[in-house]
Structure 1
């Protein structure tokens, strides 16, 4: 009877032995031990993955993507490992050719050539067992362009226009129009066109298409800060002091940042968001983790202070630029990219507005669905406050072991129990970041102003 063909890698089945697998794939037991780090050839587990060649065991490939997750073609690179240096240029898929290291403990360095022609190391990692795909995401967008001479007397850099104010009766500036120009070969969502600056300088204008669903949400903006009467109205509904609610805003968004401009001068007003990739990973079943680890990964983003440090929970074993929290522009790029993969999961994976409420909590905020929740977040500060009121009243009570009490968020708000408030609102690790102390200090500040 002919044995069935064997694939590489191979998943161990009941009745398999290392010697029988070696015989079927034409390898030796010693080779399989080395390629899989097996000390005892007699110990195999059903379902265990075995690598049947040096290429599948110690292969390394680098994938280079731009800020919008599109492959960077024709990028000069160097891979350094085992005393060797491999140079080349990425293909249309943004990938290097697969290289094979000597062992799982081989140190691999990845270098790229900058626009100035210098070489820069972008990551360093161990080969590990199994084919390792290093996904490296740039903070930039790659587009072609040629320099042109400046008009005589014109400054090298056009002066930035002053931020525009909405006209009376028109609270929301125009939403972005579809991008126009020539699609970038590297990224079809990015279009470029030549224009002139205010002093006649040649300018290469870069525009990025925003998904229509997001643009429609931004169109709900009505504007307006929360008035004192509205603060008191919300406080009466929750049977608490207005200063408690103001403390939420102070700690979560600095007390004032609820909306910002999509573009510096003429962009639409959009709510402040913070994208959380571990939410997106969980909500999508991890199916985008391998291809989009910068926006989908079981472990959340790290603080900027961790940049460049080793971290086994990161997809390549260290904290890179795509593993840290960025500014609001970075958060929106992440939201846009995630929205294209799964719109609902992307909206649920953001904390929104003045009070930074997670979209996944839309039902607690008395919204019918996450789109309704996001539309309200895009409307006004008062709409965001109303969502906060729903969240506070509807979040279930629980036993807080560290405090020895059972209390709901609403009960904690009425009692001004800052530890219980922080537990419900910021999670059980609230002490790590001192959220309870920050909330109390903010409350005291606003109480004195009352």
Structure 2
């Protein structure tokens, strides 16, 4: 299986690029429209764009992205979209802002990983009150908590956070195939295609691919969501989401 973190993108693709309030398809990309550097070259007769991502750019998933990764996994597109819907909602958003992936900071997990590093969080309650404030539920509030936690210990903060549209725990960075935890955070923060490929690596290395291929929702839910999946109805919601996508324009066919 060949999964890669490539940012070389065919100009003919129908991807949507969102930057500084501007929306353009990839075959309309110019440096004026989205503030990214584009160089047209030819490889085997196919035009490609070298895109240097700007800090104010969100690169959204395209239907072609779904098709490519689904085919590499041997699953249908509807299965992948079903997981995204349960984890990220029907909007399928992987980012709350450019460079800021959807996050769920977990204080108990952060406490566990700081403790493993010999850090007593109680000492930071007064100096870092944001870390302990559970009131804010918006993504901007979650991001502030994460940054405050990061100032205590970066790696523990990454491990104690669930990332992107697939809400993968940072402690799973090895199963996502990254060389270290910093690469995991970088890829999660770079593009939705990166998030999709990290998910693909994760389910392969976690032994969940067969369950997804067979649409064994209970087995997949148990491994992906934990032993309490049935109480949360994770498997039934996953099956329902799959049925919806499987009946929309033939999306169930990979």
TM over 0.5: yes
Cα deviation code 1:277-334 (max 9, x no counterpart): 111111111733323469x9xxxxxxxxxxxxxxxxxxxxxxxx93467221221111
Match of 1:448 among 218, 233, 247: 247
Corresponding residue of 1:214? none
Is 1:281 aligned with 2:111? yes
> Which segments of 5 or more consecutive residues in structure 2 lack a partner in the other structure?
1-18, 23-31, 38-52
Q: Cα–Cα, structure 1 residues 339 and 356, in superposed 2: closer, same or farther, change >3 Å?
A: same
- Aligned with residue 334 of structure 1, among 145, 153, 157: 145
Residue number in structure 1 paired with 2:95: 259
CA distance in 2, matches of 1:424, 1:326: 26
Moved over 4 A (4+): 218-222
In structure 1, distance between residues paired with 2:188 and 2:220: 22
Tell me the equivalent position of 2:42. Answer: none
* CA offsets 1:8-61 (integer angstroms, 9 cap, x no match): xxxxxxxxxxxxxxxxxxxxxxxxxxxxxxxxxxxxxxxxxxxxxxxxxxxxxx
Counterpart in the other structure of 2:63: 228
TM-score by length of 1: 0.41
Q: 1:348 deviation in Å? A: 1.5
TM-score with structure 2 length normalisation? 0.71
**In structure 2, do the counterparts of structure 1 residues 276 and 447 end up closer, same or farther at CA, with 3 Å as the change threshold?**
same
RMSD: 2.7
Q: 1:412 to 1:357 in 2, by over 3 A?
A: same
1:137-156 mapped onto 2 (5 Å cutoff):
none
1:359 to 170, 184, 197: 170
Residue 260 of structure 1 aligns to a residue whose secondary structure is: strand
Alpha-carbon displacement from aligned partner over 1:366-394 (angstroms, at most 9, x marks no partner): 10111101111111111110000000100
Give the direction of change, closer, same or farther, for the CA distance of 1:257–1:375 in structure 2 (3 Å limit).
same
For 1:62-77, list aligned pairs within 5 A: none
Residues 61-210 of structure 1 mapped to structure 2, 5 A cutoff = 164-166=20-22, 168-170=33-35
Picking from 416, 425, 431, the partner of 2:224 is 425
Equivalent residue in structure 1 for 2:75, among 240, 247, 252: 240
Question: 1:219 and 1:271 mapped to 2: Cα distance?
Answer: 15
Change beyond 3 A, Cα 1:369–1:220: farther
Distance in 2 (alpha carbons) for counterparts of 1:446 and 1:238: 18
- Find the aligned partners of 2:240 and 2:246 in 1 and give their Cα distance: 10
Counterpart Cα distance in 2 of 1:328 and 1:357: 16
Q: Is the 8 A contact 1:171 1:223 kept in 2?
A: no
What is the CA deviation profile of residues 146-203 of structure 1, one whole-angstrom value per residue up to 9, with x for unaligned ones?
xxxxxxxxxxxxxxxxx9514623269xxxxxxxxxxxxxxxxxxxxxxxxxxxxxxx
Total equivalences in the alignment: 201
Q: Which residue of 2 aligns with 1:377?
A: 188
Q: Distance in 2 between matches of 1:436 and 1:250?
A: 13
Distance 1:423 1:240 in 2: 19
2:156 is matched with: 345
The structure richer in helix per residue is 2
CA distance in 2, matches of 1:284, 1:356: 21
2:16 is aligned to none
